[in-house]
């Protein structure tokens, strides 16, 4: 019989024999009775009560006995059918006779996975991306960070890999769709990611490795019959009686009746295009705030205690939340980047936001995370098209920070103790991870309800990190693009826009995902729905 065993604690330097011995004790049988052991999940337990850090595993194993031994630890043991973790292989399809090739807009996680799925099924998709391939995008991003030179079409937010390319490469997800998650992680692993992402509870790739991986995914799309076009900007849609009939790219119209729209949460011009063409949109709540940076050794000490500094543990992360209290809103950490850096981001001239990233080794001196406060339609400025009011709210904040910080794409920053005291020091810490930052009083650039919540919540939240000194914390602003400010309304059954047949909104830009993994599996699902709708039916 096949068993799933949970809560197997093993040393950091474990080997197959350690896992088998621990599994045999849990099952209550001899080691020789177990075979075909596979680790399916791995997490770290560095609590102080342990004599040393441990890894906690979930495994699947075959038991050669007809029944479980009487001594089996049933609380952490489950009899399962032979696992079918991997998604079924893509079935070959014949695209509807005479139908134009499917188009995927956007080469972020959702778009890449959608195009890859279509290509593997034989649908010969065309993937268009307004930005540039990684090889030319990355140097342009470096120039923006170092000199403040912005290319509005190819930058930290637009280009091959999407905004997630410069966002640490964390692969966490709340989705229960194990098949699609595994399919995505397996593709990353086969294109160069470490095999550990298939089992780690908090898998991580790193922006440096992602730059190599996304290029290999693109090569696979092309090898399977797809086409990838960079510097190709979607400018218009041609609609007839609620059906997509064509798209305009770089001033040229082409026939298109199946388009997966995976443009990301920052493509405001596409949001405006959809509104002009009457595609159904709805306003959506999201969150804004700041990015907080503290020394990584302090985070390690807070999380690992006496084990801090053990090179086998790597850089520690954290996740903090604070409930709403009278006069304040909830606050929560988001997108924590251990051993990483704070980065500036922009996709429009005269506006600026921030994010965080880490490389694969997470070896830099600082760690950072966003601390966000929820906002909703009631907070947005009045707008003729309510679905675009959230983006207008973002733009106001981003423009205010750009101006307050000197108009050269330098981030606004302030030490936490100065923020709490209502003052601005003349200089910022020299060891900060983002050199191009300017001291600014945050109460002049962020909404009052945001600064009031942060002022109340941040000291209490940092106390949960076992006393990280407030003097060590540096704040950057603004963090405005944690998720999309709108939904592109879609039909759950078909994946298409509720009022525009042939248009398949997907990923973060559609409002239905948040993060690399959820965006990728949403793009994969959109491609599967398109295949179901557009594949030729037998006889």
What are the start and end residues of each CATH 3.30.70.2700 domain in the chain?
2-80
414 close to 427: Cβ distance less than 8 angstroms:
no
Peptide bond into 413 cis (omega under 30): no
Q: Which two tokens stand for residue 248?
A: 């305009």
pTM more than 0.75: yes
Considering only the top CATH level, what class is 2-80? alpha beta
Digit-by-digit pLDDT tens for the chain (539 residues) are 899 999 999 999 999 999 999 999 999 999 999 999 999 999 999 887 888 899 999 999 999 988 888 888 888 888 887 655 555 566 677 777 778 999 999 999 999 999 999 999 999 999 999 999 999 999 999 999 999 999 999 999 999 999 989 987 788 777 677 788 999 999 999 999 999 999 998 899 998 999 999 999 999 999 999 999 999 999 999 999 999 999 999 999 999 999 999 999 999 999 999 999 999 999 999 999 999 999 999 999 999 988 998 888 999 999 999 999 999 999 999 999 999 999 999 999 999 999 999 999 999 999 999 999 999 999 999 999 999 999 999 999 999 999 999 999 999 999 999 999 999 998 999 999 999 999 999 999 999 999 999 999 999 999 999 878 999 999 999 999 999 999 999 999 999 999 999 999 999 999 999 889 999 999 999 999 999 998 765 53
Q: Token pair 């990838």 is at which residue?
A: 228
- Residues pairing with 291 in the sheet: 370, 476
At residue 467, the pLDDT reads 72
Environment class of 49 (CB within 10 Å of its CB; exposed 0-12, middle 13-18, buried 19+): exposed
Cα gap 287→375, rounded to integer Å: 5
Q: Which of 66, 81, 75, 56 is nearest to 29 (CA)?
A: 66
For 265, list phi and psi in degrees, rounded to 5.
-85, 0
pLDDT of residue 48: 77
CA 468, CA 200: separation in Å to the nearest integer? 27
Q: How far apart are CA 442 and CA 372, in angstroms?
A: 14
Please give the class, per CATH, of domain 103-283+484-534: alpha beta
Closest CA to 118 of 531, 497, 510: 531
Question: DSSP letters along 365-402, please?
Answer: SEEEEEEEEEE-GGGSPP-SSGGGHHHHHHHHHHHHHH
Burial 257-274 (b: 16+ CB within 10 A, else e): bbbbbbbbbbbbbbbebb
The residue assigned the tokens 């973790």 is 85
Residue 87 pLDDT: 54
Indicate where the chain has its CATH 3.50.50.60 domain(s). Answer: 103-283+484-534
Q: What is the pLDDT of residue 90?
A: 63
DSSP state of 196: G
Tokens for 114? 């959608």
Residues in a beta bridge with 367: 294
Under 8 Å between Cβ of 273 and 343? no
| CA neighbor of 441 nearest in space, from 481, 401, 488, 408 | 401
Measured CA to CA, the distance from residue 190 to residue 180 in angstroms comes to: 15
| pLDDT tens readout for residues 241-293 | 999 999 999 999 999 999 999 999 999 999 999 999 999 999 999 999 999 99
Burial, 40: exposed, middle or buried (Cβ in 10 Å; 0-12, 13-18, 19+)? middle
């Amino acid at each position: 019989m096949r068993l799933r065993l949970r809560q197997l604690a093993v040393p950091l330097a474990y080997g197959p024999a350690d896992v088998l011995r621990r599994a045999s004790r849990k099952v209550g049988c001899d080691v020789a009775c177990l075979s075909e052991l596979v680790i399916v999940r791995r997490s770290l337990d560095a609590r102080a009560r342990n004599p040393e850090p441990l890894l906690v595993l979930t495994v699947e194993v075959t038991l050669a006995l007809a029944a479980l031994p009487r001594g089996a630890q049933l609380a952490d043991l489950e009899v399962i059918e032979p696992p079918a973790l991997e998604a079924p292989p893509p079935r070959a399809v014949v695209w509807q006779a005479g139908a134009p090739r499917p188009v995927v807009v956007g080469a972020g996680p959702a778009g890449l996975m959608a195009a890859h799925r279509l290509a593997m099924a034989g649908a010969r998709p065309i993937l268009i991306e307004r930005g540039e391939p990684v090889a030319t995008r990355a140097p342009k991003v470096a120039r923006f960070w170092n000199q403040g030179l912005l290319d509005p079409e190819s930058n930290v937010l637009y280009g091959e890999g999407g905004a997630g390319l410069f966002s640490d490469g964390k692969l966490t997800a709340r989705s229960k769709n194990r098949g699609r998650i595994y399919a995505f992680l397996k593709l990353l692993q086969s294109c160069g990611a470490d095999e550990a992402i298939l089992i780690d509870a908090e898998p991580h790739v790193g922006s440096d490795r992602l730059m190599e991986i996304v290029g290999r995914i693109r090569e696979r799309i092309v090898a399977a019959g797809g086409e990838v076009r960079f510097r190709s900007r979607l400018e218009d849609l041609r609609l007839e009686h609620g059906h997509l009939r064509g798209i305009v790219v770089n001033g040229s119209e082409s026939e298109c009746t199946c388009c997966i729209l995976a443009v990301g949460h920052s493509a405001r011009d596409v949001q405006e295009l959809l509104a002009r063409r009457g595609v159904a949109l709805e306003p959506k709540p999201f969150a804004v705030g700041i990015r907080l940076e503290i020394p990584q050794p302090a985070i390690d000490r807070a999380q690992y205690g006496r084990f801090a500094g053990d090179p086998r543990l790597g850089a520690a992360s954290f996740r903090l939340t604070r409930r709403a209290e009278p006069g304040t809103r909830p606050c929560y950490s988001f997108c924590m980047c251990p051993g990483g850096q704070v980065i500036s981001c922009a996709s429009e001239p005269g506006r600026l936001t921030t994010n965080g990233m880490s490389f694969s080794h997470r070896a830099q001196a600082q760690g950072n995370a966003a601390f966000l406060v929820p906002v909703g339609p009631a907070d947005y400025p009045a707008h003729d098209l309510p679905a675009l009011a959230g983006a207008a709210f973002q733009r106001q904040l981003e423009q205010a920070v750009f101006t307050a910080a000197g108009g050269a794409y330098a981030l606004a920053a302030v030490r936490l103790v100065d923020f709490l005291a209502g003052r601005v020091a003349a200089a910022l810490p020299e060891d900060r991870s983002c050199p191009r930052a300017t001291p600014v009083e945050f109460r002049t650039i962020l909404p009052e309800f945001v600064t009031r919540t942060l002022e109340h919540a941040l000291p209490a939240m940092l106390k949960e990190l076992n006393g990280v000194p407030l003097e060590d914390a540096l704040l950057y602003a603004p963090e405005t693009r944690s998720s999309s400010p709108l939904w592109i309304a879609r039909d759950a059954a078909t994946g298409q826009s509720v009022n525009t047949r042939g248009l398949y909104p997907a990923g973060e830009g559609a409002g239905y995902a948040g993060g690399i993994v959820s965006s990728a599996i949403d793009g994969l699902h959109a491609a599967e729905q398109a295949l179901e709708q557009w594949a030729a039916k037998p006889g």
